[in-house]
Structure 1
Amino acid sequence: MTGINDVAHEVGLSTATVSRALRNLPGVSEETRQRVVEAAQRLGYVASPAASVLAGGETRTIAVVAPFVTRWFFATVVEGAESVLRQHGYDVLLYSLGGDQATRSRVLHSHQLTKRVDGVLVLGIEPTDDEELWLHTHAPPVSLVGARMEGCPSVSIDDERAARIGLQHLLDLGHRRIAYVGGSATEPLDFSTPRARLRGYRSTLTTAGIPLRAEYETYGHFTIEGGFEAGGELLSLEDPPTAIFCASDEMAIGVLSAARERGVSVPGQLSVMGIDDHLLARYIGLSTVRQPVVEQGQIAARNLLEVIRQRRLAPSDRVLFGDTVLPAELVARTSTGPADADRSVPGRRST
């Protein structure tokens, strides 16, 4: 197997210089770096990540920590981030927490990330005070999507505002009996997004002078199955809503399925709205609040790579990163329509 000593012998340089050239560190001319890279490729030399770490170098690997990789939003963010990281020669080490608190603690509050990667992307999880202290003290650079941590770059949308945009669309259509399908009050990983979107729902109705109704708030757990169950519950109420606002498109897809199963016409008897602009939304006519999902992953990855690069600079030359908030916009399709004072869900009374 070809080793770094073989590359050094081939180009007539010390192993230290070859190592610096291959790790793209300063102190090596571009001409020398190119000569070393060409020799390494010609000889078939591949650096060992473990050896790079022991030498104080880079692993060329980024950890991506996601609550659930099977959900569309997180999978799409990972896709955007990975496209940028791949272009810069980085591999991705994916940690899916699966909604498990013990796994979260093992990943975000232990040495599991410390020596295996050059940087960490955290998706949708607001670090606790203990986790934040640990990450600042022990972990490599951190970048976040949909959450914030002091001193680290983040990218997100204004989730509360996104909910207000969706609710205002339904209000403008004349709806006053508007239900909400969101995350559980006992989400195992303490997401910030569900809380913000629920605040947006409540504050918009309150501002419009519409009393909040406890029976109109239910949980869909950000899944299609959860949305289906929640939609069935809401449509079974004695006084069912004329519109259902969902905190994600996946839950809205479930609500649409529940309405279809019960013979409830959309938007004739029920308007349904989501947030995201899921890949399927345009094909099923789902009205939604679009957020730039792929772009959030791309920006977060670029921010992280820049922080990694700046670690090689003197502290006085480093640039502090802030929070990037991307716009969300209304996309009105055929799942929402004007409220009809006489509409009713089959078998239920309307007031």
Structure 2
Amino acid sequence: MAGIVEIAKKSGVSPATVSRALRGLHHVNEKTRKKIVDAAQALDYPIRPDLLPRNESSRTNTIGVIAPFLSRWYFSQSVAGVEQALREAGMDLLLYNFAQIDARQRVFQQKKLVGKVDGLIVMSLRPTDKEFNQILGLGIPVALLGGIDDRCSCVSIDDVKAAEEATQYLIDMGHTKIGIVVGQRELAFNFEVAIQRKTGFLNAHKRNKIEFNPAYELTADFDNHTAELAMDEFLGRKDLPTAIFCESDEMAFGVIKSIRKKGLRVPEDISVIGFDDHEFSQILGLTTVAQPPRFLGQLAASQILAAIEKPDSELGKISVPTTLVIRESVAKLN
């Protein structure tokens, strides 16, 4: 991120003048201050809202939502929940959707957001320190959906605990050879859910003194297609687990399809458990961890709306419980 020196060069003044102007000190004439603020905005430097032009600091009645991979079930459901809550409050939604890291860099630029939204909801993407400085510098409420951070309001589930409970159910059903389909952590986006759910999976093994076989770990992209391909290759091995924990229902769908293509049965040959409670999970009889993404979106929107009305209110931290939904995809071993 650019600093005082870069702003000074762009605006043609000294760094000391830039510092005084951006701190709101009075001994800087307004023409010079405007030139400095314009330069700072062009360089994506966080600016105090009271220094922005009046038309940019006024209410827009619009809330911004930053969400990756909108085609995925969790994100589309969460956005639907946000939209419903905002519609009922007479507010509009401005969606920033992206699936590439360069798009993320553009979205988090302050100049893309300033004056356009009264609040911001970030889904499943823990902002970097640089990004946090940029969005907090807007002087608007920020909520993180699907993560926890002390700098803003948060709505989340306990992914570690939920995955641990799902794995414990498999163990209680007599399974000790358990595989896992891990979602790509996608380091460029800094997703944490994949590693959190794997941590819960391993915690259950450790608590029950069961050694996990690393050869039973598959990797996919939180979708059914890549999970199906990974499972196709995996089923060519001689040593197979009796059950598989999938970190999302969409990956579970691909796993089940692959198992059936091989002429095997779920759960008689291989048991499968998912995570999400996607609408199709009931149709397939998939045992899964149910989470309420639409409700999570509504809660995040409510946090933002409350913070707009009472800017000095305490930052909210809400953890929503999950539920293990038992259907027909897990067999009990003798």
Counterparts of 2:288 and 2:276, CA distance in 1:
7
Counterparts of 1:230 and 1:339, CA distance in 2:
25
Q: Which amino acid aligns with 2:221?
A: H
Paired residue secondary structure (1:122): strand
Paired residue secondary structure (2:273): strand
Paired residue secondary structure (2:84): helix
Counterparts of 2:183 and 2:97, CA distance in 1:
19
1:326 to 2:320 alignment: yes
Paired residue secondary structure (1:112): helix
**Are the structure 2 counterparts of residues 163 and 53 from structure 1 closer, same or farther at C-alpha, using a change threshold of 3 Å?**
farther
Counterpart of 1:173?
173
Q: Which amino acid aligns with 1:170?
A: L
Maintained 8 Å contact 1:182/1:219: yes
Q: Which amino acid aligns with 1:91?
A: D
Counterpart of 2:44?
none
Counterpart of 1:156?
156
Counterparts of 2:74 and 2:54, CA distance in 1:
32
What aligned pairs does 1:70-85 form with structure 2 within 5 A after superposition?
Answer: 70-85=71-86
* Cα deviation, residue 186, structure 1: 4.1
* Cα deviation, residue 53, structure 1: 6.5
TM-score by length of 1: 0.77
**Are the structure 2 counterparts of residues 113 and 55 from structure 1 closer, same or farther at C-alpha, using a change threshold of 3 Å?**
closer
Paired residue secondary structure (2:279): coil
Counterparts of 2:116 and 2:57, CA distance in 1:
12
**Are the structure 2 counterparts of residues 204 and 115 from structure 1 closer, same or farther at C-alpha, using a change threshold of 3 Å?**
same
Counterparts of 1:198 and 1:273, CA distance in 2:
14
Q: Which amino acid aligns with 1:59?
A: T
Structure 2 stretches lacking a partner, 5+ long = 1-52
Counterparts of 1:320 and 1:222, CA distance in 2:
35
Counterparts of 1:284 and 1:188, CA distance in 2:
33
What aligned pairs does 1:103-252 form with structure 2 within 5 A after superposition?
Answer: 103-138=103-138, 140-252=140-252
Identity of aligned residues (%): 37
Counterparts of 1:150 and 1:103, CA distance in 2:
26
Q: Which amino acid aligns with 1:289?
A: V
Maintained 8 Å contact 1:235/1:241: no
Counterpart of 2:329?
335
* Cα deviation, residue 187, structure 1: 3.9
Q: Which amino acid aligns with 1:108?
A: F
Counterparts of 2:245 and 2:89, CA distance in 1:
40
**Are the structure 2 counterparts of residues 216 and 118 from structure 1 closer, same or farther at C-alpha, using a change threshold of 3 Å?**
same
Query: Which deviations, in whole Å up to 9, do the C-alpha atoms of 1:128-175 show, x marking residues without a partner?
Result: 121122222235211111012323111110000010011011001100
Range 64-73 or range 101-110, more displaced: 101-110
Counterparts of 2:75 and 2:59, CA distance in 1:
26
Counterparts of 1:55 and 1:217, CA distance in 2:
50
Counterparts of 1:157 and 1:123, CA distance in 2:
13
Counterparts of 1:283 and 1:173, CA distance in 2:
22
**Are the structure 2 counterparts of residues 140 and 254 from structure 1 closer, same or farther at C-alpha, using a change threshold of 3 Å?**
same
Q: Which amino acid aligns with 1:70?
A: S
Paired residue secondary structure (1:65): strand
Counterparts of 1:186 and 1:58, CA distance in 2:
36
Q: Which amino acid aligns with 2:174?
A: G
Counterparts of 2:98 and 2:118, CA distance in 1:
20
Counterparts of 1:297 and 1:154, CA distance in 2:
11
* Cα deviation, residue 185, structure 1: 4.5
Regions of 4+ moved over 6 Å: none
Counterparts of 2:122 and 2:206, CA distance in 1:
34
Structure 1 stretches lacking a partner, 5+ long = 1-51, 312-317, 341-351
TM-score by length of 2: 0.81
Q: What is the number of residues matched between the two proteins?
A: 282
Q: Which amino acid aligns with 2:317?
A: D
Maintained 8 Å contact 2:141/2:304: yes
Paired residue secondary structure (2:112): coil
Maintained 8 Å contact 1:111/1:138: no
Maintained 8 Å contact 1:66/1:95: yes
Counterparts of 2:135 and 2:96, CA distance in 1:
16
Counterparts of 1:165 and 1:221, CA distance in 2:
23
